[in-house]
Structure 1
């Protein structure tokens, strides 16, 4: 399982099925949360991920396997809920505190 030091995260990707609706809202919310740390958040379709596009990929748990195949070696952080999932707090805390993040 890949890991990254939270202080080394330079870009986060939100991977989704089609790039519409809830993933766009999540991207916007995370952009606001991570802006104070200088970390941009973008979104992409899970089938179009490429290694090197982002340091951390956030995706619904149902898509985690596909995200890991598409971007091997990148930390994939799965979540269950588009709103208020603990994975988002974990990501922000790792970036803020420089703690390791694995997935």
Structure 2
């Protein structure tokens, strides 16, 4: 597990592979939730995650690939595109400026 400081996150990437739209919906939801925090939320194919990402959230099956693209960036795997508890923890840590284990 990695400890993430929510106050240091400035760029969050939602990484996907299939392009089915669910990850785009998640990115949109996170943009709304984090708007007041000033965090940039972007959607990216897993093979092209920007190197300046502070944290990556991606479907559990893509986590290893994402970690290979950005080995020094925390990658948070999730199961549910909407309402996943791991993603909710990250959002809360960013909003509150606290740390969280991922």
When the two structures are superposed, what TM-score results if normalisation uses the length of structure 1? 0.89
CA contact (8 A) 1:2 1:73 kept: no
Which sections of structure 2, spanning at least 5 residues, go unmatched?
A: none
Aligned residues, how many? 102
Deviations 1:21-73 (A, max 9, x none): 11111110110001111112101000112422x10100000000000000011
Task: Find the counterpart in structure 1 of residue 56 from structure 2.
Answer: 57
Task: Find the counterpart in structure 2 of residue 41 from structure 1.
Answer: 41
State which drifts further: 79-88 or 15-24: 15-24
1:1-103 superposed matches below 5 A? 2-52=2-52, 54-103=53-102
Q: Distance in 1 between matches of 2:69 and 2:93?
A: 24
When the two structures are superposed, what TM-score results if normalisation uses the length of structure 2? 0.89
Which sections of structure 1, spanning at least 5 residues, go unmatched?
A: none
Q: Distance in 1 between matches of 2:32 and 2:72?
A: 26
- Root mean square deviation of aligned Cα: 1.6
- CA change 1:102–1:19 in 2 (3 A) is farther
